[in-house]
Amino acid sequence: MPINVLMTVPTGPGVGLTSVSVGLVRALEQQGLKASFFKPIAQPQPGDEGPDRSAAMVAQGSTLTTAESIPLQEAERYLYNDNIDELMEEVVGRFQDSIEPDSTVIVEGLAQIPGHPYATRLNKAIAKTLDADLVLVTAPNKMRVKELEHHVEIAAGSYGGIKAADVIGCILNKTTPGSLGAKSYGDSFAQRSIFKRNFKLLGQIPTAEELTYPRVQDVADYLDARIINAGEIETRRVQSYTLCARGVENMLEALQPGVLVFTPGDRTDIIMATAIAALNDTKIAALVLTGGYQPSESLMQLCGKAMAKGLPVLSVDSNSWDTAINMQSFNKEIPLDDKDRILLVKEHIARCIDHDWINSFARNQEERKLSPPAFRYRLIETARELNKRIVLPEGEEIRTIEAASICAERGIARPVLLGNKAEILRNAQNNGIEIGNGVEIIEPTTIREHYVSPMVDIRKHRGLTDIVALEQLEDNVVLGTMMLQENDVDGLVSGAVHTTANTIRPALQLVKTSPDASLVSSVFFMCLPDQVLVYGDCAINPDPTAEQLAEIAIQSADSASAFGITPKVAMISYSTGGSGSGNDVDKVREATRLAQEKRPDILIDGPLQYDAAIMEKVAKQKAPNSKVAGKATVFVFPDLNTGNTTYKAVQRSADVVSIGPMLQGIRKPVNDLSRGALVDDIVYTIAITAIQAGQAEAKAN
């Protein structure tokens, strides 16, 4: 049976009940808690098809499965026939089918929408039937703080009032900056007299404009537009729109990143101006040609390079004015196939829920696997507490700039971008990236000479001279590495445009290995659907000896432990136990023995085949007495060929997110990126680097 059942109910219409409910599930997952979700009665919106909207949003980025909701028409039929008891029996049956044992269950009540006057009545019955604690979801909706207090008290009265034992508190959603500011509004509301005893303010969720931006594809579908050039139609998002029917000189300021440009299809001048902006790397959302006019083939050829840069071009039959007016009725509800936006909403809301309250549910839950949401959350929160300064030598690269902006905005680290300041600012502006005060930009030419003498001191035994040192410092990775060596920064992240060798070689030459390490190795954090595993070494050592493999195992176990993963180390081979023989198996067997001798505090077993290490059924047959088989969290591969092949096969075949490689054994944190890294990959690597810097500092003290 579940430990806790929490039911979200609205205090009125338009409070964002579904978003808050799925955000609560994510908040539980982030803390590594067992969560379940149940939507008793479906409330489809116009155009919705397939699964219930709430259940579909919960499923994005989660391994949870949910029971099918009772169709609304069926529930209304029960009510019409005065058979509410039978309806509640159906609710209980589906509830039991949807929950995991020993979990905290989020039950989403019915929203108050036109045509559903029975919502509160059914919510009361469901809460009583499931013995649920009630969480009220409210929104200011332009109310003053005192008015909102009265509003919440009246809504709570329908469920026994704020003094009732099972009415535990409320979540304030959709706060917007006003005369008091969003945070001040929430804080003022939190100080009201209604929050006493068991009734608490459980979360304050400000609006975030970026969570409302639709994809260009969604707008194209809404306008029933013809697609002239698809470009990046599925990934670009619309932040605003503008009607351009004036002269080019009067509309240039409107050509900003994220803008949807409406213009008559025969305005060649505006079409060309938009194309020029796109060529200058301004990521305009899309160009919409109105009036049914089609651009000529020669014009399309002239603008071909702009189209190749991803600019979507659409065509509609209505005129510009009517098309722009029509956009005011665009439904900003999140399409269920917009995975990125759903995940952003869930993460945003989860961050704003009271974490102490969420953690209070952990008291009776058994230890569970560390899920990807919990892992990512711990990364960000731990890094935020450390507040480390991380240098990014590829400072002019767009993904790196955006990652730095995100890290500064969320307080993950203090990023330092190395590069030409004017170029960095231009790239940021053209891509709609806001560089706040938390991002530091350093021109390499202003600091390069400062590091010549220290670098010569480090490499003088190799005959390094001032002239050669200055020449090598022209490479920003080398410069960043010297900043790290001289303690001017706490860590370095590179590799978005450089090779692994370009990133690691300067670190080995200038920073060198840790005193207790004889080699540098790496691990990947493999974010499987239900847990995070550690793979080592998949990037550095081609064919380690038994002694080196034992050290890699110990390094990888310590890395897992440092990031909240209980290390259970499987030494991987093509043979399990004593069933096989040969040099390769013997090496793994000897490495296992050495690692166990050096670190008896770590669970290490091998040789184990991969399936015996990860699958309990196979483990019971092949290694029944092993404490690691079937439960391994750290996988140590015998050589680079095996490790790199396995990690990429798992990553690509199972659509698994991998974070890394994270380097181990270097005296100060240096981490490499894949050249295909996404912005989120860079953000998490920066967080990992910050945490490693904190660990190195603690170890030194």
How do residues 605-659 score in pLDDT, each as one tens digit?
989 999 999 998 999 999 888 999 999 999 999 999 999 999 989 988 877 878 8
Select from 109, 58, 140, 137 the least CA-distant residue to 334: 58
Judgement on whether residues 360 and 410 belong to the same structural domain of the protein:
no
Q: Choose one of 492, 510, 545: the last residue of a domain.
A: 492
* Burial of 367 from C-beta contacts in 10 A (0-12 / 13-18 / 19+): exposed
Judgement on whether residues 632 and 556 belong to the same structural domain of the protein:
yes
CATH code for position 462: 3.40.50.10950
**Overall domain count for the chain:** 4
CATH code for position 526: 3.40.50.10750
Judgement on whether residues 181 and 237 belong to the same structural domain of the protein:
no
Judgement on whether residues 144 and 51 belong to the same structural domain of the protein:
yes
The tokens for 77 are 């039929």
Residue 447 has pLDDT above 90, yes or no: yes
Position 675 in a domain: no
Position 394 in a domain: yes
Residue 699 has pLDDT above 80, yes or no: no
Parent domain of 552: 521-665
pLDDT of residue 367: 52
Residue 536 has pLDDT above 70, yes or no: yes
Q: What residue spans of 331-397 are helical by DSSP H?
A: 339-352, 355-359, 372-386
Residue 370 has pLDDT above 90, yes or no: no
* Burial of 158 from C-beta contacts in 10 A (0-12 / 13-18 / 19+): middle
Judgement on whether residues 47 and 168 belong to the same structural domain of the protein:
yes
Position 698 in a domain: no
Do residues 570 and 613 make contact, with C-beta atoms less than 8 angstroms apart?
yes
The string over 114-139, giving b where at least 16 C-beta atoms fall within 10 Å of a residue's C-beta and e elsewhere, is eebeebbebbbbbbebbebbbbbbbb
Judgement on whether residues 136 and 198 belong to the same structural domain of the protein:
yes
Farthest-apart Cα atoms in the chain, separation: 93
Position 236 in a domain: yes
Contacts of 611-618 with CB under 8 Å at 24 or more apart are 612/576, 613/570, 613/572, 614/570
DSSP secondary structure letter of residue 110:
-
DSSP secondary structure letter of residue 519:
S
pLDDT of residue 514: 86
415 versus 365: which is more confidently predicted?
415
Mapped onto helix, strand or coil, the DSSP state of residue 406 is helix
CATH code for position 136: 3.40.50.300
Position 528 in a domain: yes
Mapped onto helix, strand or coil, the DSSP state of residue 667 is coil
Query: Which among 58-72, 130-144, 587-601 has the top mean pLDDT?
Result: 587-601
pLDDT of residue 46: 61
CATH code for position 241: 3.40.1390.20
655 versus 307: which is more confidently predicted?
307
pLDDT of residue 185: 66
Angle among Cα 351, 352, 358 to the nearest 5 degrees reads: 80
Position 341 in a domain: no
How do residues 138-148 score in pLDDT, each as one tens digit?
998 888 888 88
pLDDT interval class at 485 (50, 70, 90): very high
Do residues 7 and 126 make contact, with C-beta atoms less than 8 angstroms apart?
yes
CA separation for the pair 14, 345 (Å, rounded): 16
* Burial of 463 from C-beta contacts in 10 A (0-12 / 13-18 / 19+): exposed
Contacts for 83 with CB less than 8 Å, ≥ 6 apart? none
Question: Averaged over 471-481, what is the pLDDT?
Answer: 94
CA separation for the pair 39, 18 (Å, rounded): 10
CA separation for the pair 57, 447 (Å, rounded): 49
Judgement on whether residues 195 and 220 belong to the same structural domain of the protein:
no
Position 504 in a domain: no
pLDDT of residue 181: 45
Judgement on whether residues 158 and 89 belong to the same structural domain of the protein:
yes
pLDDT of residue 307: 86
Residue 365 has pLDDT above 60, yes or no: no
CA separation for the pair 499, 222 (Å, rounded): 44
Judgement on whether residues 39 and 188 belong to the same structural domain of the protein:
yes
Judgement on whether residues 321 and 412 belong to the same structural domain of the protein:
no
pLDDT interval class at 22 (50, 70, 90): very high
Residue 70 has pLDDT above 60, yes or no: yes
CA separation for the pair 668, 515 (Å, rounded): 11
pLDDT of residue 369: 64
pLDDT interval class at 180 (50, 70, 90): very low
pLDDT of residue 618: 92
Judgement on whether residues 56 and 184 belong to the same structural domain of the protein:
yes
Select from 27, 692, 691 the least CA-distant residue to 355: 27
Residue 601 has pLDDT above 80, yes or no: yes
- Helix pair 583-598, 546-562: axis angle to 10 deg: 50
Position 586 in a domain: yes
Select from 243, 242, 276, 275 the least CA-distant residue to 258: 242
CA separation for the pair 585, 601 (Å, rounded): 24
pLDDT of residue 501: 84
pTM to 2 decimals?
0.69
88 versus 417: which is more confidently predicted?
417
Q: Choose one of 451, 475, 492: the last residue of a domain.
A: 492
Residue 3 has pLDDT above 90, yes or no: no
Angle among Cα 208, 681, 501 to the nearest 5 degrees reads: 150
pLDDT interval class at 363 (50, 70, 90): low
Contacts for 318 with CB less than 8 Å, ≥ 6 apart? 290, 291, 326
The Cα-based distances of 172 to 30, 324, 364, 400, 558 in angstroms read 20, 33, 28, 34, 41
How do residues 90-122 score in pLDDT, each as one tens digit?
888 888 877 777 788 999 999 888 877 888 999
Amino acid at 537: D
Judgement on whether residues 527 and 624 belong to the same structural domain of the protein:
yes
